[in-house]
Amino acid sequence: MRRVVTLFGKEAKALFTSPIAYVVVATFLLIMGYAFTARLFISQRASLIPDFFQAAVLLLLIVPVITMRLFAEERRSGTFELLLTSPVREIEVVLAKYLASLSVVVIMIALTLPYAVVLTTYGEPDMGPIYTGYLGLLLLGSALVALGLLISALTANQIVAATLALGLFLLMWMLDTLGAFLPAPFDYLILHLSLLAHFTPFASGAVYLADIGFFLTVVLFGLALSMRALVRR
């Protein structure tokens, strides 16, 4: 655990000493802040449900930028082989990189909490969807970071890693649309892999164990295959 903490500090420092993290967080907050303010004045409804869906889509677009450099940058700088030959296990490397990237996502989501404070101060929102919506965003962000980490471990170029991750995220987000054109039981199988289908209940105020299990399974899947990719290299 001590080595994971040390590696996490190294990865977090690398993220937050580069402009990537700050540009990503600033872009996310700028778009979210503008949309929240405009929607609040236009609809005058004390609800964050539309904002949760917008934040989810932004995560699909932003997370590839965060994760693209995790292993690709190590290869570019020539430190990848040194990292693998150092006295640390693959799982420790994977966990450190995962937690460092996830910390950026958590910070982005946490910085939108003032929106809920504004609604509770000047209105009477239903707090259920707010609680579950933030839980859904954290689970979605965790799953996306795990998949982005996996793609970065399998590629040697940052741009390729970002492009593949973005394509995979958008495909998994829109799988429910594809499922509508397939016969049973394929429609159910495709729908079960849809990020949108599993995120929608959270944004709407409902929590199902199946949805939580889906996101946690994706996280474990991404981390396990990332570790396997390092072992093979």
Examine the pLDDT at 82 and tell me if it is beyond 60.
no
> What confidence category does residue 87 fall into, taking pLDDT thresholds of 50, 70 and 90?
low
**pTM (two decimals):** 0.90
Q: Are 56 and 140 in contact (CB under 8 A)?
A: yes
Distance CA 225, CA 193 (A): 18
37-51, 58-72, 101-115, 181-195: which range is least confident on average?
A: 181-195
* Mean pLDDT score across all residues of the chain: 85
Distance CA 189, CA 91 (A): 31
> What confidence category does residue 86 fall into, taking pLDDT thresholds of 50, 70 and 90?
low
Which tokens sit at 187?
Answer: 């429609």
Mean pLDDT in residue range 163-191 = 79
Angle between helices 127-154 and 90-110 (to 10 degrees): 140
Distance CA 46, CA 169 (A): 30
Distance CA 145, CA 60 (A): 10
DSSP code, position 174 = S
Which tokens sit at 42?
Answer: 């236009």
Mean pLDDT in residue range 51-69 = 93
pLDDT for position 78:
57
What confidence tens digit (pLDDT) does each residue in 119-159 have?
A: 888 777 788 889 999 999 999 999 999 999 999 888 878 88
Backbone angles phi, psi at 88, to 5 degrees: -130, 150
